[in-house]
Amino acid sequence: MNGCIRGDGQHNAESSLGAAEESRPAARKKPRRAPVPLDQLPKDLWLKEHVAAALGRSVSWVYKKAEAGLLPHSKRVGGLMFVPSQVMAWATAQDATPTKPKRARRRASASVLAAALAKE
């Protein structure tokens, strides 16, 4: 038997579904992670985990950027290696580079749609 039983003993499937849907938070973008202070990271070479901690990003994000050739790195037998000064210079350049603004979607207003229909 799906649903729940109300206080008066009646079965009510709709109330249990509605309550579950109302309690869910709206889908939203995950907040960016807080970067780790550089003095807590190794000085010579970084692994992808160190870069992720320094930039406040996920390890998968670092790996994708490195594999795409966007993040300076070198491949070693043990995996990807990063020079801290190159990574921080890249991150600084990324912050200074303006991103291309997304083009706003144009929606036709009701008056524009009515005028277009009237012409037909």
* Average pLDDT of span 76-86: 88
State the residue for tokens 């993040």. 71
What percent of the chain clears pLDDT 90, i.e. is strictly above it? Answer: 19
DSSP codes of every residue in 16-41: HHHHHHHHSPPP-PPPPPPPPPGGGS
Task: List CB contacts of 58: < 8 A, sequence separation 6 or more.
Answer: 33, 52
Mean pLDDT in residue range 36-45: 82
How much is the mean pLDDT over the chain?
76
Please give the pLDDT value at position 95.
79
Q: How confident is the model at residue 42 (pLDDT cuts 50, 70, 90)?
A: confident
Separation between Cα atoms, residue 12 and residue 109, nearest integer Å: 42
The tokens of 13 are what?
A: 């499937």
As a whole number, mean pLDDT of residues 67-80 equals 88
pTM attached to this predicted model: 0.53
Topology of the domain covering 43-95: Multidrug-efflux Transporter Regulator; Chain: A; Domain 2 (1.10.1660)
Q: Which residues contact 11 (CB under 8 A, 6 or more apart)?
A: 1, 3, 4, 5
Q: What is the pLDDT of residue 61?
A: 92
pLDDT for 65 equals 93
